Chain A
Amino acid sequence: MAKIASAGNYGPKVRSDCRVTIELTNSDGIQIELISKVEKFFGDHIISLTKSELAFFGIDNAKVKIEDRGALDFVIAARIEAALKKADNTISKSYLPEMKEHCKYKTAKDRLRRSRLYLPGGSPKLMLNAGLHGADAIILDLEDSVHPDEKESARLLVRNALRTIDFKGSERMVRINQLPLGFEDIKEIINENVNVVLIPKCESKQQVIDVNTYIKKFKKGKSPVFLMPIIESAKGVMNAYEIATACDNIIALTLGLEDYTADIGVRRSKSEEECFFAKSMVVNAAKAAGVQAIDTVFSDVGDMDGLYENVKQAKAMGFDGKGCIHPRQIKVVHEAFLPTEEELVRAKQIVDAYKTAKKEGKGVVSLGSKMIDPPVVKQAQHILKMAKLGGMIK
């Protein structure tokens, strides 16, 4: 059993985080050393927070060092809990910050998912204002963006973030690790009003079923947790349809091209033509399963024109959304998903014809001499919704 352990980050470039080092001792009570750039304003408060948390865990003797770079309470609490649990792996209680009212909103299966912003699960600074950028969803990532040594610490931070931060209506998603580590993630975060769980490196139906079974086992309450499997390998692409239909709470299928290109032994190019088959398969499988198809991320954060073209292409292929790794990408993605003027005019005509038919009690919708099928009406309604969201119409 390790008697001394630390968690979190500290350094001149670190913001909104802290490093907590705890040494469990046998005598001399609690000794706290605080180094904080906000000490004059929050020093006493941080000390008292630390004391009550240690009391909660029943720790009577410990040397605690907090090196703070302006971390908020939920961050400090998560770092203390992580350090404690590293120092003593028999501790199993959770020190939960109050669940704020603004964290309790619901989601819907068919809501818009044009943009989803990835937030590394170990970086509080990037989380705090993430909700301000208007993404349809935010993803608190526990997988690739978190170093293997930091998995537990990040999990607690993400849990606390889900209870504290106002993501302002962005759908609340968490990307868990691959199984079996992913099970630990589920246990810790599933009751924190997670709207969607992203399952990485999906290759089979069974993987999705396993995750879903585990979620059901630990989930309290009736609010749904939706699933978004990520296809990131050749095998996954081949099994895309069975993955997309594995459970009835899957809402979208998405694609990770970094891993996919590595798996098929090619370099990812800017045009992504080597991924054409994978993209088509994912779109087709998703649509066949009646769920959304979401495209991978665009990694060059400086190239907004390239991003715009890339998303236009994705939209033309049938994708409904795009991953974002920087807040400035969100607006560009939303713009690229806007319908063209031509699409908009036609969609208006179809919806008007539908309304007229409904008013007149006709079962069949027609535009000119053409019959309009219900899926076409639905598609037209979707186009109008996108146009409205993008400010093209009122």
Chain B
Amino acid sequence: MKKADKFVKNAAGRLVPTIVNGKKVIPFMGVNKYRPTHKGTAPRVPTCIDYPKDCNKIVDSLKEALIKAGLKDGMTISTHHHYRNGDYVANWIFDIAAELGVKDLIWAPSAAFPCHSPIIKHLESGVVHHIEGSLNGPLGDFCSHGKMKGLGYLRSHGGRYRAVADGELHIDIAVLAASAADMMGNANGVLGKHPFGPVSFLRVDSKNADRTIVVTDTLIDFPCYPWEIMGNDVDFVVVVDKIGDPEKIVSGTTRITKSPDRLLIAEYAAKFIEAAGILRDGMNFQAGAGGISLAFTDFVNKVMIEKDIKARSMIGGSTKYLVDMMNNGRTDYIFDGQTFGLEAISSLRDNPKHIPIDVFDSYDFHAKSNLVQMMDVIVLGSTEIDVNFNANCVTHSDGRMLHGIGGFQNCMMAKCTMIAVPSFRDRIPVIKDEVTTLVAPGELVDVIVTERGIAINPRRKDLISATKNSGLPIRDIIDIKKEVDDICGIPTKPKLSDEAVAVVEWVDGTILDTIRKVED
């Protein structure tokens, strides 16, 4: 079986396969052009009499649970990434699979982190065939070098949810780490010894997988409430000493940047939304946890205090900063799909206005409404952008896949999507003629903010006229690019092989771009 076959040029002008890992896929047809007509798949129908009468589904070990769940060659196993770089559970699964001699598994995490690099040996030995989800760090690098048996399949957070719900990605076994659970399998991430926040990323798996295993390090007496994961969806409960290291949830990126250039970018972004009239009472916005996004939120907060403005809602990843803002009356609600730090976790647990959200509510393109559509502004980072406002967030300019795709594509649905990036990094220009990998089509990127100026997408005539006399450094993207090229010099284009190593799926399930093998 060829990893990728029958390539065609899609609507974005990218050469993409129509067969991936032996399955037929649809090439990207343009933004909002593809409407599936089929019905979503329904889960396997269970019967309660097949389960213990006392509802106690505790088994002795993860190994026993996996065996009882029928782990066998070729299955798709899913995990979530709420423990981020501190997760233990995913590594255990594939160690067990290797011990049992199982082969060709597909791992479908909501995201992978450097802590998952032990899985590389299982990719090498054939225990794991390929990964579908969000790849970064050492695993991304491994895949970039064409060493994965199958083709990597990058799906946004919302795209993953959709794929699980509509049957494109069938999960055989979902293994769900929970910081607290009861014997029935009711579970959450806010109680217990090592809480991490909402379990939003794998709720869809618990509803649709053939088998769901809850792994916890804090077993509590029935009922474990809130039951974000419902015991009725769970097959087995496993109790272990520790499911992950919560200290590694908060990484260096979840602090306000100290770099003067990045602070300037954040300040420009905040001033831009003020000038454009977006920053006003009742606004809704996504305030990410990355360095620039966090600084942006901090600047927005200052303006809010000065002008006595209150937002209606903010979407996390929530941090201490967001919680402080809510407690100081700068927003009515926080919606949270991912939590960073103990202050945010306690707020989520104790404050009814700090609401856990499901990926379905916020990001799923095939939901009947989408929270991001209501967002007045979202600020994102990027590895590369180009003069047509196309954006890349997964590969570096050398073609290596080092960053997770995350919810990047899903955020493009906001009313104003801003990408805030330095115009060059280590003499490598961030603004290109054409992005190495297309992750978000330019027509959906509204504003690019750099330390050298702000470029507004020509399609957004409303934003252009609203900010015309703002005194902000609003410039043509080509003009900024010229300045940067003059500073850095024109880089040589790295040679990439024709061999495909991964594909990027668009939010609607079509194939947007192909990632090529890196030659060293």
Q: Which residues of A contact B (CB under 8 A)?
A: 15-16, 37-38, 40-45, 69-73, 128-129, 132-133, 326-328, 391
Contact = CB atoms under 8 A, between A and B. Distances in A.
Given A42-B491, A128-B487, 10 more contacts: A16-B426, A38-B426, A41-B494, A44-B492, A69-B426, A72-B489, A129-B451, A132-B452, A133-B264, A328-B260
A327 B259 CA distance: 9
A62 B494 CA distance: 30
Contacts of B305: none
Return the 4 tightest CB-CB contacts between A and B, nearest first: A70-B426, A41-B491, A327-B260, A70-B427
Nearest to A43: B492
A41 B263 contact: no
A42 B451 contact: no
B188 interface: no
B428 interface: yes
B368 to A, nearest CB: 45
B260 A326 contact: yes
Contact of B427 (A38, A44, A327, A328): A38
26 contacts: A15-B426, A37-B426, A38-B426, A38-B491, A40-B398, A40-B492, A40-B494, A41-B398, A41-B428, A41-B494, A42-B491, A42-B492, A44-B492, A45-B492, A70-B425, A70-B428, A71-B427, A72-B489, A73-B489, A128-B487, A132-B261, A132-B264, A133-B260, A133-B264, A327-B260, A328-B263
A213 B264 CA distance: 41
Nearest to B488: A72
B110 to A, nearest CB: 31
Contacts of A129: 260-261, 451
B260 A41 contact: no
B397 interface: yes
Contacts of A132: 261, 264, 451-452
Q: Which of A38, A44, A326, A327 gathers the greatest number of chain B CB atoms within 10 Å?
A: A38
Contacts of B425: 70
Q: Which of B398, B427, B451 gathers the greatest number of chain A CB atoms within 10 Å?
A: B427
B430 to A, nearest CB: 12
A72 B494 contact: no
B260 to A, nearest CB: 4
A72 B427 contact: yes
A42 B398 contact: no
Nearest to A74: B487
A23 B428 CA distance: 30
Contacts of B491: 38, 41-42
Nearest to B493: A41
Given A37-B426, A70-B428, A132-B451, A42 B489 contact: yes
A354 B471 CA distance: 30
A15 B260 CA distance: 14
A328 B262 CA distance: 11
B345 to A, nearest CB: 27
Given A70-B427, A132-B261, A41 B397 contact: yes
Contacts of A73: 489
Interface of B is mostly: loop
Interface in B464-520: 471, 487-489, 491-492, 494
Nearest to A37: B426
A127 to B, nearest CB: 12
Interface residues of B, number: 19
Nearest to B520: A40
A37 B426 CA distance: 8
A311 to B, nearest CB: 19
A132 B473 CA distance: 11
A9 to B, nearest CB: 14
Contacts of A38: 426-428, 491
Nearest to A69: B426
A222 B428 CA distance: 39
Nearest to A44: B492
A70 B488 CA distance: 9
A150 to B, nearest CB: 22
A287 B330 CA distance: 48
A44 B491 CA distance: 10
B451 A16 contact: no
A100 to B, nearest CB: 8
Nearest to A128: B487
A72 B483 CA distance: 14
A37 B488 CA distance: 14
B374 to A, nearest CB: 33
A66 B426 CA distance: 16
B273 to A, nearest CB: 18
Given A73-B489, A129-B451, A42 B427 contact: yes
Contacts of B489: 42, 45, 72-73
Contacts of B428: 38, 41, 70
A69 B398 CA distance: 16
A328 B295 CA distance: 13
A328 B452 CA distance: 16
B129 to A, nearest CB: 30
Contacts of A44: 492
A323 B448 CA distance: 33
Contacts of B471: 391
Nearest to A302: B258
B474 to A, nearest CB: 15
A69 B487 CA distance: 16
Contacts of B264: 132-133, 327
A71 to B, nearest CB: 7
B74 to A, nearest CB: 37
Given A69-B426, A133-B264, A327-B260, A41 B452 contact: no
Given A40-B494, A42-B491, A73-B489, A16 B427 contact: yes
Contacts of A42: 427, 489, 491-492
Interface string B237-267: 0000000000000000000000011011000
Contacts of A43: 492
A42 B493 CA distance: 10
Nearest to A117: B260
Contacts of A128: 487
A327 B260 CA distance: 6
Nearest to B471: A391
Contacts of A133: 260, 264
Contacts of A40: 398, 492, 494
Contacts of A327: 260, 264
A72 B487 contact: yes
B386 to A, nearest CB: 16
A276 to B, nearest CB: 32
Contacts of B452: 132
Nearest to A49: B489
